[in-house]
Amino acid sequence: MTDRYPNLPGAKGPDGTSQDAVEAIKPCAFHLRRIAMRTLAILGEATVLEAVAFNQMARESLQPRFSELRALGFVEPTGAR
C-alpha cells in the first residue's frame, strides 16, 4: 500500500491545521474505513449522514473515510440526497 492519498488520509496543504489533522487521524483511519464499509453492508445504500447517525459518530470522522473509499473504488455515489 502506498503512503499517499487515498490510502492514507490527505491534507489540503503541507503544513498547518490540515496536516495536524492528518497526523491525528492516521492511526484511526483504517478502523474508520472498516466502520464505513460495515455500515454499508448492514444498511445497503446509505448517505454519509445516515452512516454517521447509525454509528453515532461525528461527521468529520466518517465523511473523509467515505471520500477515501470512493477514491479507492470501494464505494460509489448513488446520486441520492
Would you give per-residue pLDDT tens digits along the chain (81 residues)? 567 888 888 877 777 888 888 888 889 999 999 999 999 999 998 999 999 999 999 999 999 999 999 999 999 987 876
Q: Residues, the chain, total?
A: 81
pTM of the model: 0.84
Domain ranges, ordered by start, for the chain: 28-71
The closest of 71, 2, 69 to 29, measured between CA atoms, is: 69
